[in-house]
């Protein structure tokens, strides 16, 4: 079936809202997407009918147990985990990363080295910086080019030494939108015996994750960025996870993923994450190229359909921004290179601050973010941190060309005035 934007939008109650008669435009998606009815229904069902602790012989407990097992299985398929037990969930990507950074760095010795990047969200920077402080590790920084907004993996190769233990690397930037070469970084990590920890939070709403093909060691993402509830998900290579010391209560077995699942997990969130994954697969079944019946094939088809649609919005948006006086897009702009970026587009404009632009548009129901978006290193490097950062427009598969045009039109008026 052809991509049916009206039908897709009809599944999201939030997208029906208006402000003073004008439809609200949701371009704040990189900070959190809206949620389809199907996801909320499954969360409701979990709370109404599957609300018991695990391990009982009675019906509600059995149903809850099944819900949890199925959500883990969906999470494993979502990232293409080679083994079961490799995925577990937690409050957020940030919380999971703080926890895992403690565990992963526990046996690093003073003088060991870690590599962080200047393009990552602080959630994949600060936990490692603090671990480095605790353990006396040396921190090295991978920089990106201000012209191409990409890394040169030759630089990464030059940074590694025989003391490198870990590289923390972002899959897609929440500011520039650049999709980074995770497989290339994984290859370098493997060659020097380091571990690669990947933040896929901004990639997950736009592209199919395949940890088996990437060759990384850990990968984290967050379901509220891909149309689900606020819950984080971590995949780790089985041998890596098994070798780590898990901080857990004594009665919990050493099996995966239980050894990393502290306390009672949030069942309704698990139901919601599973439903969000099903939603993406449903897009594939409805609008993608003919795919096999299995979840992974439908997911692949869904992401392909979304990317083709989103690229149209991205190109229109970037072309419009580039015609405006004094506007500088902070990311890849060449239409021939859309495969190297997601649809998140940030920019600054001469003579008007990012907060002024965002608040002018928000008064008309056009929701977008200004500021540093927690990508402190990007804005510091570009010399824009003190000035209030940039403006970020983040279309996803449910946004429309009309929304892009309305936003551009209003932006032009604000910038010219």
Ligand X SMILES: Cc1ncc(COP(=O)(O)O)c(C=O)c1O
54-62, 90-98, 178-186, 296-304 -> range binding ligand X (CB under 6 A):
90-98
73-81, 91-99, 273-281, 376-384 -> range binding ligand X (CB under 6 A):
91-99
Cα–Cα distance between 182 and 340 in angstroms, integer? Answer: 12
Per-residue binding string, ligand X, 158-197, x by CB under 6 A, is ------------x---x-----------------------
Q: In the complex with ligand X, which residue's Cβ is closer, 92 or 407?
A: 92
Q: In the complex with ligand X, which residue's Cβ is closer, 85 or 232?
A: 232
Exposed, middle or buried, 386 (CB in 10 Å: 0-12/13-18/19+)? exposed
Name residues contacting ligand X, limited to 214-243 (CB under 6 A).
222, 232
Per-residue tokens: 239: 């041998």
Do 178 and 341 meet the contact criterion of CB atoms below 8 Å apart? yes
Cα–Cα distance between 120 and 97 in angstroms, integer? Answer: 13
**Closest to 324 (Cα-Cα) out of 259, 407, 383, 266:** 407
Among 121, 135, 274, 341, binds ligand X (CB under 6 A): 121
DSSP E strand stretches across 186-272: 195-199, 218-222, 232-236
Do 233 and 87 meet the contact criterion of CB atoms below 8 Å apart? yes
CB of 202 vs ligand X, minimal distance in Å = 4
3-state secondary structure of 113: strand
Cα–Cα distance between 60 and 172 in angstroms, integer? Answer: 40
49-57, 198-206, 246-254, 263-271 -> range binding ligand X (CB under 6 A):
198-206
Q: In the complex with ligand X, which residue's Cβ is closer, 171 or 279?
A: 171
* Angle, alpha carbons 76-226-217 (nearest 5°): 40
CB of 73 vs ligand X, minimal distance in Å = 22
3-state secondary structure of 217: coil
Per-residue tokens: 303: 């992401």
Q: In the complex with ligand X, which residue's Cβ is closer, 269 or 314?
A: 269
Among 24, 74, 142, 201, binds ligand X (CB under 6 A): 201
CB of 175 vs ligand X, minimal distance in Å = 9
Among 76, 86, 181, 199, binds ligand X (CB under 6 A): 199
Q: Is 400 in the site for ligand X (CB under 6 A)?
A: no
**Closest to 47 (Cα-Cα) out of 263, 267, 230:** 267
86-94, 104-112, 335-343, 363-371 -> range binding ligand X (CB under 6 A):
86-94
Name residues contacting ligand X, limited to 31-60 (CB under 6 A).
31
Per-residue tokens: 142: 């991978």
Phi, psi angles (nearest 5°) of residue 410 = -70, -40
Per-residue tokens: 330: 């902070």
Residue 322: CB atoms within 10 Å: 12
Q: In the complex with ligand X, which residue's Cβ is closer, 216 or 291?
A: 216
3-state secondary structure of 331: coil
CB of 403 vs ligand X, minimal distance in Å = 21
Q: Is 119 in the site for ligand X (CB under 6 A)?
A: no
CB of 233 vs ligand X, minimal distance in Å = 9
Cα–Cα distance between 362 and 335 in angstroms, integer? Answer: 28
CB of 170 vs ligand X, minimal distance in Å = 6
Among 81, 87, 93, 368, binds ligand X (CB under 6 A): 93
Sign of CA pseudo-dihedral 250, 84, 286, 30: positive
Q: Is 92 in the site for ligand X (CB under 6 A)?
A: yes
Among 176, 202, 346, 400, binds ligand X (CB under 6 A): 202
Alpha-carbon distances of 292 from 36, 102, 285, 330, rounded to whole Å: 24, 41, 9, 39
Among 123, 211, 330, 354, binds ligand X (CB under 6 A): 123
CB of 300 vs ligand X, minimal distance in Å = 22
How many residues interact with ligand X (rule CB under 6 A)? 13
Interacting residues with ligand X (CB under 6 A): 31, 92-94, 121, 123, 170, 174, 199, 201-202, 222, 232
């Amino acid at each position: 079936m052809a991509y049916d934007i009206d039908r897709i939008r009809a599944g999201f109650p939030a997208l029906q809202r208006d402000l003073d008669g004008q439809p609200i435009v949701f371009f704040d998606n990189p900070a959190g997407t809206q949620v389809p009815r199907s996801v909320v229904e499954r969360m409701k069902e979990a709370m109404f009918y599957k609300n018991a602790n695990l391990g009982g012989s009675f019906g509600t407990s059995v149903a809850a147990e099944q819900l949890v097992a199925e959500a883990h299985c969906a999470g494993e398929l979502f990232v293409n985990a080679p083994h079961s037990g490799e995925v577990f969930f937690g409050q957020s990507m940030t919380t999971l990363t703080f926890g895992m950074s403690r565990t992963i760095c526990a046996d690093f010795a003073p003088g060991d080295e870690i590599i962080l990047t200047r393009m990552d969200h602080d959630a994949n920077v600060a936990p490692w910086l603090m671990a480095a402080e605790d353990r006396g590790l040396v921190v090295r920084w991978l920089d990106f080019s201000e012209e191409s907004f990409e890394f040169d993996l030759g630089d990464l190769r030059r940074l590694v030494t025989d003391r490198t233990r870990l590289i923390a690397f972002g899959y897609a930037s929440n500011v520039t939108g650049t999709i980074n070469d995770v497989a290339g970084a994984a290859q370098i990590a493997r060659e020097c015996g380091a571990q690669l920890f990947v933040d896929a939070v901004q990639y997950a709403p736009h592209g199919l994750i395949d940890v088996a093909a990437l060759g990384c060691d850990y990968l984290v993402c967050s379901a509220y960025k891909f149309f689900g509830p606020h819950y984080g998900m971590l995949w780790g290579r089985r041998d890596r996870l098994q070798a780590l010391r898990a901080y857990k209560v004594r009665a919990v077995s050493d099996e995966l993923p239980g050894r990393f699942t502290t306390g009672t997990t949030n069942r309704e969130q698990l139901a919601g994450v599973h439903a969000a994954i099903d939603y993406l697969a449903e897009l594939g079944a409805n609008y993608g190229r003919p795919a096999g019946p299995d979840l992974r094939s439908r997911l692949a088809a869904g992401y392909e359909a979304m990317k083709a649609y989103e690229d149209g919005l991205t190109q229109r948006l970037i072309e419009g921004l580039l015609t405006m006086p004094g506007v500088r897009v902070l990311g890849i702009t060449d239409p021939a290179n859309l495969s190297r970026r997601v649809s998140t587009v940030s920019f600054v404009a001469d003579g008007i601050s990012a907060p002024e632009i965002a608040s002018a548009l928000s008064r008309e129901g056009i929701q977008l973010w200004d500021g540093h978006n927690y990508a402190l290193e990007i804005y510091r490097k570009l010399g824009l941190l003190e000035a209030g950062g940039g403006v970020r427009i983040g279309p996803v598969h449910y946004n429309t060309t009309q929304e892009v045009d309305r936003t551009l039109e209003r932006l032009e008026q604000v910038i010219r005035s």
